[in-house]
Amino acid sequence: MTRKIIHCDCDCFYAAIEMRDDPSLVGKPLAVGGRAETRGVVATCNYEARAFGVRSAMPTSRALRLCPELILVPPDFERYRAASQRILAIYRDYTALVEPLSLDEAYLDVTGVDRCRGSATLMAEEIRARIHAEVGITASAGIAPNKFLAKIASDWRKPNGQFVVRPEEVDAFVEVLPVGKLFGVGKVTTARLEQLGVHTCGDLRAWSLADLIARFGKFGRSLHRLCRGIDERPVAPDRPRKSLSVETTYATDLPDLAACEAALAPLMEDFNRRFARLDPAPPVHKAFVKIRFDDFTRTTAECLADAPDEARWLELLRTGHARKGRPVRLLGVGVRFVEAEEAFAEAQADLFGAG
């Protein structure tokens, strides 16, 4: 049976909750995030702010330069989580196969569901109407035979819209899709493909599997399948935790390695508290340290590890810092878990390699 997958994604979720609770914010450029003076970043923003070029993950200081009238509010995750739980309850009225990706988006497998005469399109419309009526915000949806296409489709008519890719439309839809839309294809890989004359999935189909693997390694297998619209991943309601990490952006740059080493101790204490709350804690596969320098370049140093290890984190910090030797604005420590690493390796070999 052909799958019927819905990808639901709330529109500018945090900002939408803020506008719902304070209607005076509606129609004004709004961002949720940290203050500029504390090196804050934008968590999300509404469409009025996006018109000025403001984007998620942008430093707040830059957002304010782009939009001096931007209204900035701090995040209130308690309210966001409460809204997320109500939205998840709506999803689960339709199917038990709900895979949350974050507080505001999820995949739903409605294959064989009798609601709305079995129509995934009608179910998506009903779900979006219920989110608006019961939670007070809008959501967009994509409907397709697999997760990859459903996620792309949910962006097609944002905000407050939906788009369907029917099974008989998959080939034509994917053929004209820009390669930058493919899972795992970031700016660097997009530029690399375009230098090779590959701009669309149709262009990419001209490459054989062997040629793609020769050029891109294991990720070539993913490219070969995705450019044909193939994605066999099931909707997984109980996804294993992939990693655990903590990080801090500092109000004042850490000037040198010694300052970074001193800052590592409170990070490790915070991590150990969170790790102790895992019940049970998944087996650890790797430890890593994340660094963002004052020029906004980033690096991650990692190694094999079977448990959180302060000595390893310290060594990884020294390795990562030596790559630039510049002042540091952000530090993070964390671990990756065994199950996630095994799944990631399998995905690289099968469908979703790193890119």
Q: Which domains are seen in the chain, by residue range? A: 5-12+78-167 (3.30.70.270), 14-76 (3.40.1170.60), 171-235 (1.10.150.20), 243-339 (3.30.1490.100)
Q: Which residue has the tokens 């998959």?
A: 170
Instruction: Decide if pLDDT at 184 tops 60.
Output: yes
Q: Is 279 annotated as a binding residue?
A: no
Q: Which of 40, 46, 35 is nearest to 13 (CA)?
A: 46
Query: 175 pLDDT exceeds 90?
Result: yes
Look at the alpha carbons of 229, 234, 238, 240 in this order and tell me if their dihedral is positive or negative.
negative
Note the Cα 211 to chain centre separation in Å. Answer: 30
Share of the chain above pLDDT 70, in %: 95
pLDDT at 240 over 80: no
Backbone torsions φ then ψ of 276, nearest 5 degrees: -65, -25
Higher per-residue confidence, 342 vs 151 = 151
Say if residue 272's pLDDT is above 50: yes
> 67 pLDDT exceeds 60?
yes
pLDDT of residue 351: 35
Closest CA to 232 of 347, 123, 152: 347
Helix (H) / strand (E) containing 328 = strand 328-337
For residue 339, the model assigns a pLDDT of: 60
**Per-residue pLDDT, 335:** 94
pLDDT band at 340 (very low <50, low <70, confident <90, very high): very low
Angstrom distance (rounded) from CA 213 to CA 84: 40
Strand order in the sheet with 328-337: 243-254, 328-337, 284-293, 298-304
Name the packing angle between helices 77-92 and 120-134 (round to 10°).
140
- Is 60 exceeded by the pLDDT of residue 349? no
* Average pLDDT of the residues of the chain: 90
> Which residues have CB under 8 Å from 180's CB, separation 6+?
187, 190
Strand partners, 300: 290
| Contacts made by residues 274-281, CB under 8 angstroms, sequence distance 24+ | 274/244, 274/246, 275/244, 275/308, 275/335, 278/241, 278/244
Residue 9 labelled as part of a binding site: yes
- How would residue 122 be classed by pLDDT, with cut points 50, 70 and 90? very high
* pLDDT for the residue numbered 251: 81
For residue 330, name the pLDDT band (cuts at 50, 70, 90): very high
Q: Which position among 18, 48, 99, 105 bears the catalytic label?
A: 105
Predicted pLDDT of residue 354: 32
pLDDT > 90: percent of the chain: 74
Q: List C-alpha distances in Å: 74 to 29, 45, 55.
A: 15, 12, 16
Buried b / exposed e over 10-38, threshold 16 CB at 10 Å, is: bbbbbbbbbbeeeeebeeebbbbbbebee
pLDDT at residue number 3: 95
Mean pLDDT along residues 336-355: 47
Tell me if residue 105 is catalytic.
yes
pTM (two decimals)? 0.77
